[in-house]
A and B are shown apart, each in its own frame.
Chain A
Amino acid sequence: MTAAQSLLAVLITPLLSAALIAFFCRRLGTVASTISVLAAAGIFVFSLIAIRGAAGEDVSISWTWLRLGDFEVSMGFLFNGVSATMLTMVGFVGFLIHVFSLGYMAEDNARARFFGGLSIFMFSMLGIVLADNLIMIFVFWELVGFSSYMLIGHYLNTEEAAAASKKAFIVNRVGDFGFLIGIVYAYWHFGTTNLSEMHGIVAGNRELISACIAALLMCGFIGKSAQFPLHVWLPDAMAGPTPVSALIHAATMVAAGVYFLIRIQFLFPSEVLTFIAWLGTTVAVYAGFCAYGQNDIKKILAYSTLSQLGYMSAAFGLGFPGVALFHLITHAFFKALLFLAAGSVIHGCHHEQDIFKMGGLLKKMPITAITFLLGTLALCGVYGLAGFYSKDAILIAAGLQHSPIFILLTLGAFLTAGYMGRLFWIAFLGQPKSEAASHAKESPLTMLVPLIVLAVLSVAGGWIGFWPEQLGGLIRDNLEHLHHLPDYDTMHHRVLILGSAAWVLGLVLSLFFYRAGAKEDRLEQQAAPVYHFLKSRLWFDEIYGFYVAKIQQRFALFLSFIDVFIVKGIFVRGSAGIVGLVGMCSRSLHDGNIHSYVYWFLAGLVLLWAVASGLL
């Protein structure tokens, strides 16, 4: 198999699985889940074959999709080091999450729909990873949006899931609108949307880089990666099944926004990069604060995801796309682990999600608890674990270039350790605080194996020296570059000290403040205004709600008035009337009388001659 064939196989496998499930196994949950898991395994295997086949070279293939005279639309793959890294991560983590879902969704009635959705999601996500032009990326971008909508709304009959899926879809549309305009503008500006060709054009003439195009394309990233001000959909999206949260809303889809930025980083001028760095930093700190106001285990993790996405975009904005990719990969490992462990907890506690109703889970579910702890430590950036290496690199990059961002990101690291400590101490230590928690049992093996594998990766995933040669080229280059900057050594020591202090302080202070296995939130008791302020998340949802209900709704009513009375009443009815009238006239022409037909025919001939000779 050549690299091109195996890449095609990577893309076709999940599509085939989705089609099989949709057409033949809608009521056969077990068969559907087997097909989907096998497809996920197939993706991973084919990815490895593709990487071997490519042997470190860039593979770029394209097919002409449409050709009209001299206008051509092509579809194709651009498979380089970055996409190989991303493909391996998506394939592997995706496979583990599929396996986990086998156990987690075993009792669900609509399993076939769920696994079909996972397959269609994998198809769309891999499409984004491999696509070589903006139009194709956009098509798959919308497809992940659709599959995310479908999977968030999996529990159809709960109000919350329906509202959340709608919200995620609509908020993403806002970002995609900018993205779409950006694509059109880019096509107009460069005459192509192919990534390699645009790179060539921009490399030839730096003047052609347009801040406007970059800013418009960035809108797509803001929507998909849930950055400020479109971050509101991500916490709500936790209404979906937990494996979905792990796969889509932590490891892959939300990171696709960052991945997209890395793919098109050559299009970004420095002012847009600075903007992205500040945007990311703001989100990193803001989301860190918000997490303190949440009691739902998944929502805390969702805010943590937001905050880590902020770190990634800060790294990208500071001019280190490789570092952003590094954090993306390590984050995928430990955040998928945290979500899956949370899923295991939720499964064990009969769908209890409030951390203040858990407690004592360390004894009841030891493997889940230990893997969760490892994930937490990796997230906090404990020395030697995966998160340490990537976060460290981001902090060093910030420290060397931009002190205010450095200070804020370090604060963010402290906040991370704090809310993760709060979550762990309260949920896993102490005594069970509810009926459900006291009957919690360790989850079955299909769920524990993915947890253990991910835990190993959360520990070892950051040891970039041990990565296979073909993966992470850009990461190594960027790190190398970072190491050779002036003042690297001093900054490295400072970050080591400050970073370690941040997590130690965060974990310890949260233990002393909240107490292990606490029944109530001490922050709420002791400083209620602060707690409620954090819980309100700066009132973004309320502001958007007000805007939609009071301003947009009124405008819509006004438009609907115009629509009903003027457009429908006069234009549509009127023109339909005219068309109908003409139609009736022309129908009376066809009166069925053969004599008149013959005369019409001859009259037509005369008419034609009149036109031809210029009389008419």
Chain B
Amino acid sequence: MNKLLIEFLSGYTATNQWAAILPEIMMGVLALCLLAAEMVLPKNRQAWVPRLAIWGQVLILMIAFGFVGRCSIGEFQYFSGLITQTDVTQIMRGFFLVSSIAVCYLGHIYLSKQTLPQTEFYALVLIISAGMMLLVQSTHFVMLFVALETVTVAFYVLVAYSRTSQFSLEAGLKYLILGALSSGILLFGIVLLYGIAGNPELLGASRDSLNYGELMNFVILNMNNMIVKIGALLVIAGVCFKIGAVPFQIWVPDVYQGAPTPVTAYLAVASKAAGFIVLIELVRGPFFGLQDFLVPVLSVIAAATILFGNIAAVAQRNVKRLMGLSGIAHAGYLLLGVIAVMRGVDWAVYAVIFYLVTYLLASFAVFGVMSIAAGEEDANQELDHYESFARKRPFLGGVLACGLGSLAGIPPLGGFIGKLFLFVAAFQAELYGLLIIAIVGVVISIYYYFGWIRECYFSSSSTAVVKDISCGATSSDRFLLGALTVASIVIGILPAALPIIR
């Protein structure tokens, strides 16, 4: 009996290759090391914590890349099918590492203006990054849910991190309640799918029905089952909450405004990216058989998201809400890529990733400038604060203009090529109606992005009282922001510099 059990268990653990998730483990260890370091280091050496966090991640990034270099790109399953590593998940590892490095840096800028505890911030950012890496690798609903909750719970804390700010607390509460609601909906969907797929009376029923592969076979055989449809829809709704797509976008402006700027950037870039990769894996995996059912739903969501995000952003004066609402619009463009994938344009996956990369570069540049320009309370930055900003801070103004230009999709910046790829993918998938809506959306977005740029460059500072916005940029700020901007431009001129599109 004992022998049998051991054999049974070793059959399960045969694929437990812990080395495969070395970067994630190292991130967790680094997070714990930071907490330990805070206790060990004397008071006047606390500044080492952010440095340790940033340089530690740079090291992990290098190891992870060495890792990728060693193994051949392909599809590998580990942990009895809990996680699957593909070229996409490897790219996304790098993506999340870069964004958490940037968030740590922005957090360092932000925290230096606050009297808040420091170490936990970095530890949580690292945990989230590791969680998101696992999230995109998971091919099992249990793994998906655990990774998702790891990320989400850590985000609840980060959004409310600024305990002294009422905006931040309010945002944290809202994110908690709505996040819990969406998690509940997601879980409900998962349970429905699990239950129905485990029903031995149905064709293709499986004992491991939370596994993507098993579920995919089941769904293809039972695509007209009502409970399958409801379950899939609820799961999609839960993911749409994460990416901030209409009609689940309602939390975005408030939370983006209230959260500390680095956390907003993290939510806008990395959390959204993780949501999209999960969505693509779902529609290519378990929900593959439901295309006819899901394509119209996602098309309506995409159209509504693009129009709502752009139109709502036009009337916005608060820059963080503006970024939040325009972020909704970007989610809409990205949904075009997801729908194109469903319609059989396989390379659209890489178009989505390419767009996410350009979005990362441009967003962090803009959020970086916002962090530097912010005062102690950064929730109420208005467009008026940026009046003749470029004249006072030419470098930051230039970075901001490049970042916003890239978000608006102006050539020769990266955002233009990103949009071009997505739109060509949509064109090949014959989504002509959506394409027209997306182009209208882009035109509207140019209006408000350039409104901001105009505020920076061309506002007449006739009012002698120009509010001085905090201190200037240090040389390391300049390095980071300059690198982001240069990367945006280089990708715009030489898209092949980013070897993602294959």
Contact = CB atoms under 8 A, between A and B. Distances in A.
B215 to A, nearest CB: 19
Interface string A590-602: 1010100110110
A484 interface: no
Given A68-B421, A600-B247, A587 B496 contact: no
A63 interface: yes
A597 B250 contact: yes
Nearest to B347: A69
Interface in B38-95: none
A549 interface: no
Given A583-B312, A592-B254, A597 B174 contact: yes
Interface string B216-260: 000000000000011001100100010000111011011000000
B250 A601 contact: yes
Interface string A50-92: 0000000000000111111101000000000000000000000
Contact of B247 (A64, A587, A603): A603
Contact of B311 (A67, A583, A590, A609): A583
B495 A609 contact: no
A601 B496 contact: no
B237 A586 contact: no
B29 interface: no
Contacts of A592: 170, 254
A601 B248 contact: yes
Interface string B290-314: 0001101100110000001001111
B428 interface: yes
A64 B494 CA distance: 9
A608 B247 contact: yes
Contacts of A576: 447
Interface string A574-616: 0010011011101101101010011011011101110111000
A609 B247 contact: no
B177 interface: yes
A194 B300 CA distance: 42
A589 B249 CA distance: 11
A90 to B, nearest CB: 24
Contact of A594 (B173, B247, B248): B173
Contacts of A597: 174, 178, 250-251
A62 B358 CA distance: 25
Given A66-B417, A590-B253, A597-B250, A609 B233 contact: yes
B315 interface: yes
Given A590-B253, A600-B250, A612 B297 contact: yes
Contacts of A64: 496
A580 B315 contact: yes
A606 to B, nearest CB: 10
Interface in B414-454: 417, 420-421, 424-425, 428, 444, 447
Contacts of B300: 611
A594 B311 contact: no
Given A65-B495, A580-B314, A587-B312, A612 B250 contact: no
Interface in B80-114: none
A169 B494 CA distance: 27
Nearest to B241: A601
Given A594-B173, A612-B233, A579 B314 contact: yes
A587 B314 CA distance: 10
Nearest to B348: A69
A584 to B, nearest CB: 5
A18 to B, nearest CB: 15
A598 B424 contact: no
Interface residues of A, number: 33
Nearest to A602: B181
A592 B170 CA distance: 9
A612 B444 contact: no
Given A579-B314, A590-B250, A604-B248, A68 B501 contact: yes
Given A587-B316, A601-B248, A608 B308 contact: no
A67 B501 contact: yes
Interface string A380-412: 000000000000000000000000000000000
Nearest to B417: A66
B487 interface: no
Contacts of B495: 65-66
Contact of B181 (A579, A601, A607): A601
Contacts of B362: none
A411 to B, nearest CB: 50
A71 B246 CA distance: 33
Contacts of B21: none
B32 interface: no
B185 interface: yes
A611 B494 CA distance: 41
A612 B181 contact: no
Given A590-B253, A597-B251, A612-B293, A69 B314 contact: no
A576, A583, A597, A598, most chain B CB atoms within 10 A: A583
A335 B392 CA distance: 49
Contacts of A608: 233, 237, 247, 297, 301
B287 to A, nearest CB: 12
A605 B233 CA distance: 9
B235 to A, nearest CB: 12
A434 to B, nearest CB: 48
Contacts of A594: 173-174, 177-178
Contacts of A589: 250
A71 B424 contact: yes
Nearest to A599: B250
B410 interface: no
A513 to B, nearest CB: 57
A579 B310 CA distance: 9
B191 interface: no
Interface string B328-355: 0000000000000000010100000000
Nearest to A66: B495
A584 B251 contact: no
A537 B496 CA distance: 51
Given A597-B250, A597-B251, A608-B247, A66 B496 contact: yes
Nearest to A592: B254
A241 to B, nearest CB: 30
Contacts of B178: 594, 597-598, 601
A603 B315 CA distance: 25
Contact of A605 (B237, B314, B316): B237
Given A580-B314, A586-B312, A605 B254 contact: no
B347 to A, nearest CB: 6
Nearest to A613: B229
A69 B428 contact: yes
B237 A584 contact: no
B181 A583 contact: no
Nearest to B494: A65
B247 A607 contact: yes
A66 B495 CA distance: 6
Given A63-B496, A66-B417, A612 B229 contact: yes
A24 B229 CA distance: 63
Contacts of B293: 612
List of 4 A-B pairs having minimum Cβ-Cβ separation, nearest first: A604-B247, A583-B315, A586-B312, A583-B314
19 contacts: A63-B496, A66-B495, A68-B424, A69-B345, A69-B428, A579-B311, A579-B314, A583-B311, A583-B313, A587-B315, A590-B312, A592-B254, A597-B178, A597-B250, A604-B237, A604-B247, A604-B248, A605-B234, A611-B297
Given A584-B315, A605-B185, A608-B237, 6 more contacts: A65-B495, A579-B444, A583-B312, A589-B250, A598-B178, A604-B248
Interface of B: 170, 173-174, 177-178, 181-182, 185, 229-230, 233-234, 237, 241, 246-248, 250-251, 253-254, 293-294, 296-297, 300-301, 308, 311-316, 345, 347, 417, 420-421, 424-425, 428, 444, 447, 494-496, 501
Interface of A: 63-69, 71, 576, 579-580, 582-584, 586-587, 589-590, 592, 594, 597-598, 600-601, 603-605, 607-609, 611-613
